[in-house]
Structure 1
């Protein structure tokens, strides 16, 4: 009987260890009264860039842009907030995506190599090092909560990680939702000033 519980504990620990965990960097204005915030509006950066005659952010497709907008709206509605027009919203949600090409270099000492063809005095072992070079793209998602009166950020969440390629289309929304949920998990609830 105890073995069964031990196996369940081991299996659940392994599943938690394999789960993707995002650790957002969060910053906010401690003087801002978050208890007054109950409505939001997500600002679409594609539309804003087009109306201000700015070049579009080509690092993000319009499909992924729409997925992020949907994920933010779902996460905030799950917190009990209502989505309204930008003119009457208590907070404006603005996001941006940045990418950077990076290179990771790892060096391993793999031991020694002994010449198998050499005999006698010529069979001296010598150290061998293996070098692995990995090129990847790091993506950063930034979500800002903007006070509509001052047009300044009062809360910010940032996550950076390697961008996975060839993600199946049917999994993209779920992965973006998981990321946005992790970024917004501490928004509002823990920030309301206590009297």
Structure 2
């Protein structure tokens, strides 16, 4: 399965011990329309994956990294709004401070994007995308399993410097 990961090589990933999410009243929260069930599914999967890797959840003000996510639905303007919130520049990927494990970085409908945001600069320093492949017949258990698989696949590629 194609799972591109890109990250900012100048960021010291080895110092990250804690993570958090933006609050419900943040620009991030408003950058896309997701149901609370979808948000909970994604955030629980992220927490399980990061906790299994020995990262600890922290309050927003003390976190070493902020985790954000975007579910691609095909609305280009929503994607651009999300990129503005996490200060991600798709055109900057070829800059020498970004490491790309895959030169075929692309977004696609049904893809889940996870960003790790530097809380000091409020800028994405790591990004990955993975297809959720939800089907109309999928119940909540199946959707949870697919989300967990996608999140684990992405976050286990965290750079360890």
Structure 2 distance, partners of 1:166, 1:30, is 41
Query: RCO (CA 8 Å, sep 6+): is it higher in 1 or 2?
Result: 2
Corresponding residue to 2:46 among 63, 72, 75: 72
Check if 1:48 corresponds to 2:26.
yes
Change in Cα spacing, 1:49 to 1:149, as seen in structure 2 (3 Å) is: closer
Confirm or deny: 8 A CA contact 1:37 1:90 kept in the other structure.
yes
Say which one has the larger Rg: 1
Aligned to 1:168: 139
Task: Give how far 1:50 is off.
Answer: 9.2
Check if 1:182 corresponds to 2:153.
yes
Structure 2 distance, partners of 1:161, 1:170, is 13
Corresponding residue to 1:158 among 121, 129, 147: 129
Structure 2 distance, partners of 1:62, 1:139, is 17
Structure 2 residue matching 1:99: 3-state secondary structure: coil
Q: For structure 2, which runs of at least 5 residues remain unmatched after alignment?
A: 76-107
Structure 2 residue matching 1:75: 3-state secondary structure: helix
Which sits farther off after the overlay, 22-31 or 64-73? Answer: 22-31
Aligned to 2:62: 88
Q: For structure 1, which runs of at least 5 residues remain unmatched after alignment?
A: 1-21, 102-136
TM-score w.r.t. length of structure 2: 0.70
TM-score w.r.t. length of structure 1: 0.59
Count of residue pairs the alignment pairs up: 129
Structure 2 distance, partners of 1:41, 1:67, is 16
Aligned to 1:108: none
Task: Give how far 1:79 is off.
Answer: 0.4
Aligned to 1:192: 160
* Higher strand content, 1 or 2: 1
Deviations 1:104-125 (A, max 9, x none): xxxxxxxxxxxxxxxxxxxxxx
Change in Cα spacing, 1:164 to 1:138, as seen in structure 2 (3 Å) is: farther
Confirm or deny: 8 A CA contact 2:5 2:128 kept in the other structure.
yes
Structure 1: 4+ residue segments shifted above 3 A: 160-163
Aligned to 2:85: none
Confirm or deny: 8 A CA contact 2:134 2:143 kept in the other structure.
no
Corresponding residue to 2:5 among 18, 21, 26: 26
Confirm or deny: 8 A CA contact 1:23 1:182 kept in the other structure.
no
